[in-house]
């Protein structure tokens, strides 16, 4: 097919693209005004996207600050500005403020605020934690992809709240229900208030009012969207949160958004009127037609009221009609909100996380129930100075609820265990296949190396050990264990060595040792979302034994055992004997793993590596080995089958090749681009995982003079430039032109010479792609590389 | 790249990034989130970008990844309100919008990225190849294969 054959489709796409851009009624994705959904009067902002709001401020901040630290400062400023409602609605993108905020970059304090009004400071923090790997970097204003979906945490502070000793977090749990909430922590890490109503969509739009309030208590007001079922949806409510008592009361509602012949959409927003000191609660309404994009009305302010204190509670000065005429759905009464949970978190100097959570439901100041949850810290979410906030999941079964605890980091402590969790997980996939495994997660965090003044924290020595043991249970089936340990030190991952397993069933004891060399090398793991998990906490740990060069050492707790193992020289083998059963005839599991302390280097063969040179080889050996594979008359496909077993699925081997790479190029977050080469060839392999397909592609670039391959189409690596051009279809005249004088448009005449030709062969799963590169020179040192492809 | 250049580049391409993200998540709010997250990621990782000339493609790629990540993790479902807020369909032409076409063609991520750089951003193929740090031959191959697939879509021409 000639290129001209594509002209029509290119024109169609160009037209569609132009129409697309033209028709996108796009109001700005990165925009500082989005930070202030509460005061935005120009348009409705569906309040589900705090990341967007924060990112807008973040982008603004990077202009004026030196990165995250500056971003936080700017957000502090911006928050104050929002609080004072000085910016007005729908400012241009936040970065337009750069020039006028330049002085703020000079570490100036918080911008001037309206009297009696606190600052609103949003801090979005996240990490690039993947499920099975502890990242060493914590930075601000990004997303946090973790199991069960995205989660983000925003910290909202005010000077007044700070004086009172409170930290306010808004967290967003983007699980399937898109829930989110607010929690308030005291300075000791205790969770004063955790507000996560079951029927609210997140996040709340928050406006912190920390001045002297009519109630005499510091209070902040926020709106949150309440998800309704049936024909109504997205009822926006207005709440007041008393920071002293933690009590939350509903002040008003916007009324429901309704589907129907014409969809009605209402939303509420908060704003502060500096001149009067009033807090306004505005309700907007818009009616949509039945056709997507059809707007029957513009935004109409249907209610505009002031929040007042009536002596008993906060209320709107004039109740909106909706409050009077529309029934409250009855699922969000204030009492029910309070029963959302009061958590008390044990806190202490060296406590990195609470071993258990007490969740107490309090109604009217009286505790009506109390539950205890064992907790499993999941990810470090936020770190500021000596404080660390982490999500904890209180899981009884299945996916649990996420909670936040604040942790005091002891900078003087050289080495601390931050988490301990043993879980017995029974997973059932959709087709009924069941797997049972033990998951042990322990994370050490050498907090001493963190610099609280830095705008980015780099953990130079922190690692996580994840041990998963798959056990097949059932009559007639032998116990099987296939474990691995990923030991991540900094950005290095060590591989598992020996796993031993002892399974007791009553008096029956089965001991097995497993050589995990070359198996179960999993960094990214598998997505567990398709599993129905039953997760059980360890009932009892009998003992933990560490065997190192000094012999065996027994410990009562796994944590102590691991502390010893980590400090042991060389390899230490850890065995833990435990049970999940509460029955008298307990099934006792003993699982073990080895901690290997040597840190990998490029010159170090991975422990336990097989002799197959195709796996886990230092780069120089890999290159030598590759050269031995380049046999005369070898086809490129043969080579790829040799170095990269595509038939068997190249991903595993790809990882092994990566371990041997000496030159790696990573683009974005793919991390799938590898390149090897020497003077004669350049081998590139990459894997692209895409929604549509997984593409594994190997490309070999052969430079002139390199030999050893049988090339298709009668070509040879020694094909001359002229021969290559002929193969490409150039006629003699055209070739002569390439080797002759070329007059450029500006009249400047250059003499070009074709100097060399190289071939690029790409092997994809769907066939070859072949191209040649022709280097032409104008006689100077500079060469122009022209790549020509025969389609 | 300076901060000002960074912001300038983002500003210039914000809408295009949004479109690219939207083509994946089909949800205005998630698309915005993806763009925002991508911008934050890009800023944090700017030191990894050796060639400023590849910034647009790099940021587009990150945006794509963020959008895909968001989609995998179950972003918001399509919201009527979100669509109306940020994206106006022409209902008479809804089935032939640009990314509906490339989506219908079942293109891989790189191919879609190439088409977006080519048609939305207006880069030619050599520029696109540079943006994506791919050999021009690969870009061409993917480009023309993509056009082939699109051309075979019923009712496209």
Q: Where are the domains of chain B?
A: 1-88, 92-157
Structural domain boundaries, residue A719: 712-789
Tell me which chain A residues have a C-beta less than 8 angstroms from the C-beta of B23.
Answer: none
Tally C-beta pairs within 8 A across A and B: 242
Q: Looking at residue A213, what DSSP letter applies?
A: -
State the pLDDT at residue B113: 78
A688 plus A723 within the same structural domain? no
Architecture per CATH, domain B92-157, reads as: Orthogonal Bundle (1.10)
Q: Extract the runs of DSSP E, i.e. beta strands, from A62-199.
A: 121-127, 137-140, 144-146, 149-157, 166-174, 179-186, 191-195
Q: Pick the closest to residue A374 from A304, A424, A303, A426 (CA basis).
A: A424
Is any Cβ of chain B less than 8 angstroms from the Cβ of A145?
A: yes
Contacts of B17 in chain A (CB under 8 A): 29
Q: E strand or H helix at A315, and its extent?
A: strand A314-316
Chain B residue with the nearest C-alpha to that of A27: B86
Q: Minimal CA–CA distance to A37: which of A72, A89, A80?
A: A89
In 3D, which of A153, A141, A143 has the Cα closest to residue A75? A141
CB contact A765 to B (< 8 Å): no
* Chain B CB contacts of A69 below 8 Å: none
Q: For an interface test with B, which of A26, A135, A285 has the most B Cβ atoms less than 10 Å from its Cβ?
A: A26
Interface subset of A 356-415, CB within 8 angstroms of B: none
C-beta atoms of A688 and B7 within 8 A: no
Residues A322-336 pLDDT 10s: 433 333 333 232 222
pLDDT at B128: 79
Given an 8 Å threshold on Cβ–Cβ distance, is A55 in contact with B107? no
Last residue of a domain, one of A650, A684, A702: A702
Using alpha carbons only, what angle is made at residue A272 by residues A241 and A154, rounded to the nearest 5 degrees?
50
CA atoms within 13 A on the CB side of A236: 27
Query: What is the C-alpha to C-alpha distance for residues A758 and A721, in angstroms, rounded to an integer?
Result: 9
- Shortest distance between the Cα of B76 and any Cα of chain A, in A, equals 8
Q: Which tokens belong to A83?
A: 């609080």
**Chain A stretch 158-177, residues whose beta carbon is closer than 8 A to a beta carbon of chain B:** 174-176
Residue A139's nearest CA partner among A379, A353, A378, A381 is A381
A787 Cβ under 8 Å from any chain B Cβ: yes
CA A442 to CA A424: how far, in whole Å?
15
| 3-state secondary structure (DSSP) of residue A657 | helix
Helices B55-72 and B28-44 sit at what angle, rounded to 10 degrees?
130
Q: Distance, in angstroms, between B144 CA and closest chain A CA?
A: 8
Query: What residue of B is the nearest CA neighbor of A759?
Result: B137
Q: Which residues are within 8 A (CB) of B9 and not within 5 positions of it... i.e. 6 or more apart? A: B1, B55, B56, B59
**Which parts of A235-277 are beta strand (E)?**
235-242, 248-253, 257-258, 263-273
A156 has a chain B CB within 8 A of its CB = no
Q: Say yes or no: A725 and A691 in one domain.
A: no
Residue A62, chain B, CB below 8 Å: the answer is: yes
Nearest to B31 by CA among B70, B61, B59: B70
Q: Which of B17, B69, B107 sits opposite A145 (nearest CB)?
A: B69
Number of structural domains chain A divides into:
4
The residue of chain A nearest to residue B91, with distances taken between CA atoms, is A292
Task: Output DSSP code: residue A637.
Answer: H
A511 within a domain of the structure (yes/no): yes
A729 and A592 part of one domain? no
- pLDDT at position A342: 23
Considering the domain architecture, whether residues A245 and A273 belong to the same structural domain is answered as yes
Are A664 and A592 part of one and the same domain?
no
Radius of gyration from C-alpha coordinates of chain B: 16
Mutate: best of A10, A13, A29, A673, partner B, most B CBs <10 A:
A29
Contact yes or no for A21 and B15 at CB 8 A: yes
Asked whether residue A103 is assigned to any structural domain, the reply reads no
| Predicted pLDDT at B71 | 65
Q: Residue B34 and residue B24: Cα distance in Å, rounded?
A: 10
- Cβ–Cβ of B87/A26 closer than 8 Å? yes
Residues A442 and A506 in one domain: yes
Closest residue by Cα to residue B97 from B19, B2, B10: B19
Task: Say whether the peptide bond before residue A167 is cis (omega within 30 degrees of 0).
Answer: no
Burial of A584 (0-12, 13-18, 19+ CB in 10 A): exposed
Question: Nearest-CA residue of chain A relative to B25?
Answer: A691
Q: Are residues A637 and A763 in the same domain?
A: no
Residues A172, A222, single domain; the answer is yes
Based on the fold, state whether residues A555 and A640 are members of the same structural domain: no
Mutate to test the interface with B, among A10, A22, A30, A71 (most CBs of B within 10 A): A30
Please tell me what DSSP assigns to residue A102: G
- Chain B nearest-CA residue for A528: B73
Residue A425: the pLDDT is 44
Q: From B63, which residue of chain A is nearest by alpha-carbon distance?
A: A668
Give the span between the Cα atoms of A789 and A15, in whole angstroms. Answer: 27
The neighbouring-strand residues paired with A265 are A286
Which chain B residues are within 8 Å of A688, Cβ to Cβ? 108-110
Query: Tokens standing for A24?
Result: 């996108």
Specify the residue for token string 């060639």. Answer: B51
Same domain, A479 and A499: yes
Cβ contact A791–B140 (<8 Å)? yes
What is the Cα A170 distance to its own chain's centre? 18
Q: Please tell me chain B's helix, strand, coil percentages from 3-state DSSP, rounded to the nearest 5.
A: 75, 0, 25
What is the structure's pLDDT at A686?
53
A490 in the same domain as A509: yes
Q: Go through chain B and tell me how many residues it has.
A: 157
Position A43 scores a pLDDT of: 24
| Residue A20 placed within a domain | no
- Is the CB of residue A233 less than 8 Å away from at least one CB of chain B? no
> Is residue A2 situated within a structural domain?
no
CB atoms closer than 10 angstroms to residue A523: 12
Q: Provide the pLDDT for residue B8.
A: 77
**Is A762 in CB contact (< 8 Å) with chain B?**
yes
pLDDT of residue A265: 72
Does A9 reach chain B within 8 Å, measured CB to CB? Answer: yes
The stretches in chain A having pLDDT less than 50 are: 2, 25-160, 170-180, 189-191, 196-203, 210-212, 229-232, 292, 319-365, 367-539, 580-587, 596-625, 644-679, 689-691, 740-752, 777-791
Residue A251 has a pLDDT of 81
Among A596, A631, A656, residue at a domain's last position: A596
In a domain? residue A629: yes
- Predicted confidence at residue A447, as pLDDT, reads 27
Q: Tell me if chain B has a CB within 8 Å of the CB of A691.
A: yes
Report the length, in residues, of chain A.
791
A785 has a chain B CB within 8 A of its CB: no
Other Cβ atoms within 10 Å of A41 Cβ, number: 13
How much is the average pLDDT of B85-112? 58
- Residue A120 CB: number of other CB atoms within 10 A? 28
**DSSP code, position B41:** H
* Residue A29 CA neighbour count, 13 Å, CB half: 30
- CATH level 3 topology of B1-88: Rna Polymerase Sigma Factor; Chain: A (1.10.1740)
Contacts of B70 in chain A (CB under 8 A): 143, 150
- For residue B13, what pLDDT is reported? 78
Write out chain B residues lying below 8 Å of A26, CB-based: 15, 18, 86-87
B37, closest residue in chain A (CA to CA): A142
Residue A568 sits in the same domain as residue A630: no
Q: Which residue of B has its CA nearest to A9?
A: B151
Q: With respect to residue A148, please indicate whether it lies within any of the assigned structural domains.
A: yes
Q: Are B3 and A62 an interchain contact pair (Cβ–Cβ within 8 Å)?
A: yes
Q: What are phi and psi of A595, to 5 degrees?
A: -100, 125
Which phi and psi angles does A74 have, rounded to 5°? -70, -40
Kindly determine whether residue B115 and residue A771, on different chains, have CB atoms separated by under 8 Å: no
Q: CB neighbours of A100 closer than 8 A, spacing ≥ 6?
A: none
Burial tier of A288 (Cβ tally within 10 Å: 0-12, 13-18, 19+): buried
Burial class (CB in 10 A: 0-12, 13-18, 19+), A122: buried
Q: What pLDDT, on a 0 to 100 scale, did the predictor assign at position A54?
A: 31
Nearest-by-Cβ selection for A13 from B68, B73, B115: B115
Query: What's the pLDDT score for residue A730?
Result: 62
């Amino acid at each position: 097919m000639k290129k001209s054959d594509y002209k029509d489709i290119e024109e169609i796409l160009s037209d569609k693209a132009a129409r697309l851009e033209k028709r996108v009624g796009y109001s700005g994705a990165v925009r500082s005004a989005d930070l202030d959904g509460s005061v935005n009067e120009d348009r409705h902002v569906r309040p589900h996207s705090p990341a967007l709001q924060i990112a807008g401020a973040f982008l603004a901040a990077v202009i004026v600050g030196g990165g995250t630290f500056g971003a936080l400062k700017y957000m502090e400023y911006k928050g104050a500005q929002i609080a004072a409602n000085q910016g007005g609605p729908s400012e241009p993108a936040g970065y337009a403020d750069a020039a006028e905020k330049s002085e703020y970059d000079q570490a100036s304090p918080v911008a001037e605020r309206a009297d009696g009004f606190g600052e609103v400071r949003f801090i979005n923090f996240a990490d690039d934690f993947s499920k099975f790997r502890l990242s060493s970097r914590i930075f601000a204003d990004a997303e946090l992809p973790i199991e069960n979906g995205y989660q983000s945490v925003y910290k909202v502070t005010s000077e007044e709240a700070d004086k009172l000793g409170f930290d306010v977090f808004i967290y967003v749990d983007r699980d399937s229900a898109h829930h989110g909430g607010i929690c308030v922590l005291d300075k000791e890490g205790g969770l004063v208030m955790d507000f996560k109503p079951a029927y609210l969509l997140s996040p709340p739009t928050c406006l912190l009012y920390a001045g002297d309030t009519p109630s005499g208590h510091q209070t902040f007001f926020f709106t949150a969207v309440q998800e309704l079922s049936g024909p109504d949806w997205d009822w926006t409510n207005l709440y007041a949160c008393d920071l002293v008592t933690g009590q939350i009361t509903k002040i008003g509602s916007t009324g429901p958004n309704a589907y129907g012949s014409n969809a009605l959409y209402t939303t509420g927003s908060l704003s502060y009127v500096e001149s009067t000191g009033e807090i306004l609660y505005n309700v907007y309404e818009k009616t949509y037609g039945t056709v997507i994009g059809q707007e029957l009305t513009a935004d109409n302010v249907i209610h505009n009221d002031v929040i007042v204190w009536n002596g008993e509670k906060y209320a709107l000065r004039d109740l909106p009609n909706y409050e009077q005429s529309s029934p409250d759905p009855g699922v969000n009464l204030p009492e029910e909100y309070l029963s959302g949970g009061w958590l008390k978190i044990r806190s202490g100097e060296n406590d990195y996380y609470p071993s258990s959570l007490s969740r107490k439901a309090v109604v009217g100041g009286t505790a009506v129930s109390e539950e205890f949850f064992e907790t499993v810290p999941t990810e470090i979410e936020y770190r500021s100075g000596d404080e660390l906030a982490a999500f904890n999941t209180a899981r009884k079964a299945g996916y649990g609820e996420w909670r936040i605890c604040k942790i005091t980091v002891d900078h003087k402590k050289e080495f601390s265990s931050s988490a301990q969790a043993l879980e017995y997980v029974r997973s059932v996939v959709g087709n009924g296949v069941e797997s049972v495994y033990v998951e042990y997660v322990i994370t050490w965090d050498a907090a001493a190396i963190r610099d609280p003044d830095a705008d980015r924290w780099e953990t130079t020595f922190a690692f996580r050990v994840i041990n998963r043991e798959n056990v097949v249970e059932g009559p007639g089936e032998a116990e099987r264990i296939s474990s691995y340990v990923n030991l991540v030190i900094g950005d290095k991952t060590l591989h598992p060595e020996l796993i031993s397993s002892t399974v007791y069933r009553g008096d029956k004891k089965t001991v097995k040792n497993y050589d995990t060399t070359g198996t179960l090398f999993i960094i990214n793991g598998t997505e567990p979302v398709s599993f129905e998990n039953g997760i059980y906490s360890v009932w009892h740990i009998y003992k933990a034994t560490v065997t190192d060069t000094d012999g065996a050492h027994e410990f009562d707790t796994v944590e102590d055992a691991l502390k010893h193992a980590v400090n042991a020289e060389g390899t230490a083998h850890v065995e833990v004997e435990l049970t999940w059963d509460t029955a008298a005839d307990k099934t006792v599991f003993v699982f073990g793993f080895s901690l290997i302390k040597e840190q990998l280097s490029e010159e170090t063969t991975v422990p336990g590596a097989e002799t197959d040179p195709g796996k886990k080889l230092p780069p120089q050996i890999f290159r030598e080995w590759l050269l031995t594979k380049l046999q005369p008359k070898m086809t490129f496909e043969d080579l790829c089958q040799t170095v990269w077993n595509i038939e068997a699925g190249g991903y595993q081997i790809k990882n092994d090749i990566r371990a041997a790479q000496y030159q790696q190029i990573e683009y974005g977050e793919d991390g799938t681009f590898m390149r090897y080469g020497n003077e004669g060839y350049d081998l590139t392999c990459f894997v692209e995982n895409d929604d549509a397909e997984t593409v594994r592609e190997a490309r070999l670039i052969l430079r002139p003079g390199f030999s050893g391959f049988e090339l298709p189409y009668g070509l040879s690596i020694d094909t001359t430039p002229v021969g290559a051009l002929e193969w490409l279809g150039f006629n003699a005249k055209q070739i002569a032109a390439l080797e002759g004088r070329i007059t450029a448009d500006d009249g400047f005449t250059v003499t070009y010479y074709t100097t060399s030709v190289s071939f690029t062969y790409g092997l994809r799963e769907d066939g070859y792609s072949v191209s040649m590169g022709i280097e032409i020179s104008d006689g100077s040192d500079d060469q122009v590389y022209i790549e020509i492809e025969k389609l | 790249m300076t901060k000002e250049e960074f912001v300038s580049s983002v500003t210039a391409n914000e809408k295009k990034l949004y479109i690219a993200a939207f083509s994946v998540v089909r949800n205005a709010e998630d698309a915005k989130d993806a763009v925002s997250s991508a911008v934050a990621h890009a800023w944090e990782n700017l030191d990894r970008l050796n060639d400023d000339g590849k910034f647009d493609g790099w940021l587009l790629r990150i945006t794509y990844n963020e959008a895909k990540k968001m989609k995998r993790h179950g972003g918001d479902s399509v919201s009527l309100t979100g669509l109306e807020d940020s994206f106006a369909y022409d209902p008479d032409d809804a089935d032939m919008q640009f990314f509906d076409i490339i989506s219908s063609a079942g293109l891989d991520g790189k191919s879609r990225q190439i088409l977006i750089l080519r048609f939305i951003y207006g880069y030619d193929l050599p520029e696109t190849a540079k943006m994506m740090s791919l050999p021009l031959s690969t870009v061409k191959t993917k480009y023309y294969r993509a056009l082939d697939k699109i051309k075979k879509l019923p009712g496209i021409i």
